[in-house]
């Protein structure tokens, strides 16, 4: 799948974990990210450092010096990243079929609340696309 020139390479699963931590924290040092990450599963601090360095190389993170520490933050908002990841999943796993992805998700057990939220989102999307011709 070709990617747009203005978007960085998509992150790996482990890099996505780091990004989620940074999106939640806003900004953090390697040590702060490692503390959160390692509370979920065992990981070496150097591994987190490497993941963050790769994310910076890809353009997902930027850093700034604060005293003797480097503070990192995501350069791309969470929603933008999630749209890119979802598009990749649809394009590769579902051969471009968004309906295929949605149908596979609907095979899971949904609570009444989740079903209602999905209905509301579909109604909202239908309203936005009303004037569009397919």
Can you give the pLDDT at residue 8? 80
**Tokens 């579909």, residue?**
122
Paired residues of 66 in beta bridges: 69
Helix (H) or strand (E) holding 45: helix 45-58
pTM: 0.76
Q: Where are the domains of the chain?
A: 13-74, 98-134
- 101 to 1, 84, 93, 94, 107: CA distances (angstroms): 17, 14, 8, 6, 10
Among 1.10.8.60, 1.10.3720.10, 1.10.340.30, 1.10.10.10, name the CATH number for the domain at 13-74: 1.10.10.10
Q: Is 71 exposed, middle or buried (0-12, 13-18, 19+ CB in 10 A)?
A: middle
pLDDT at 3: 47
Which pLDDT tens digits describe the chain residue by residue (134 residues)? 444 456 788 899 999 999 999 999 999 999 999 999 999 999 999 999 999 999 999 999 999 999 999 999 999 999 999 998 899 889 999 999 988 888 888 888 888 898 899 889 888 888 876 665 55
């Amino acid at each position: 799948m070709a990617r747009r020139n203005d978007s960085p390479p998509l992150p790996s699963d482990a890099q996505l974990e780091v990004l989620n931590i940074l999106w939640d924290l806003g900004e953090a040092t390697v040590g702060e990210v490692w503390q959160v990450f390692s509370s979920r599963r065992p990981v070496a601090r150097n591994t987190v450092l490497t993941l963050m360095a790769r994310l910076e190389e890809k353009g997902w993170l930027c850093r700034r010096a604060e005293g003797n520490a480097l503070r990192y933050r995501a350069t791309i908002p969470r929603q933008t990243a999630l749209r890119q990841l979802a598009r990749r999943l649809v394009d590769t796993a579902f051969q471009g079929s968004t309906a295929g992805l949605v149908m596979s998700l609907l095979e899971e057990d949904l609570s009444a609340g989740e079903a209602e939220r999905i209905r509301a989102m579909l109604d909202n999307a239908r309203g936005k696309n009303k004037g569009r011709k397919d």
